[in-house]
A and B are shown apart, each in its own frame.
Chain A
Amino acid sequence: MRILFLFCALFCAADCFAAVGCDLNDPDRDINRLFPGSSGYKTVYLSVKTPEMLARIEKRLGDKFHGLYENIGVPYTLYEIYRDKEKIGYVHGVNQKGDYGGIQVFLALDPAGTVKAFYIQKLTSRTAKELRSKEFAAQFEGLSLKNFRDYDPLSGKAAPVKNPASQPGGDFLHVLRAVKKNLILMDEFVFSK
């Protein structure tokens, strides 16, 4: 069995490189900033294991996973945050296709799944300044998955936060889709276990 696994690992290696995850650029610094008072973190790698799980996530999201880079093979990096030995929360990020480039949206969540901090690590957009502003990030604090349950990422209806940019839609909608996807994945990976 072990030999079989080794062979599978060797011959499937090429496919493993087919998808990219979303990691913090500098976890030590970023986690200190997102979780002041934390004393350490543990990195866990997760994935959408089955087509059934993917279908459930897509149904909850209200949109299909699409494009070259949003697929079942994407690995997700979860940072479990500790204060001494106590787990005080999580940091998790997702990639999202934007109008002009990739968007990386990270959420810092407490153990109940409530957003403590929102951080866009990468964004190439004409509305980047507004979407990366502190005021926009502050709108997410205290929200959880239940606030996004009715949000429709296709039409943009029932958005739980206000668009900070003067022009409608665009990357604002992409960011909200990323946040909803992030919260659903966290629920599937952690909170509903």
Chain B
Amino acid sequence: MIAESLIVSAILFAIGVIGVLTRRNAIILFMCVELMLNAVNLSFVALAKMHGVTGHVFVVMVMTVAAAEAALGLAIVISVFRHFGTVDLSAIRQLRG
């Protein structure tokens, strides 16, 4: 069971990474980051079977932080949209050096 869970977790994480690297829509990017977080959560839960409840505690921590991050991130996305009229990240390059 643990092996399977870890494999699923790895697959989810890879999907998330590929999404972040290849997609340009801020919302999709955002969802991919969430996917990565939850892939890690899954491996935490799976490994908690072997190593006790610490893994569960971490999952709750991650969820809390992810919730805060989601609130902040979506607020940023909204203000980006208000400012630029788009959430396509390849069009937003104001920080060019």
**Does A pair with B?**
no
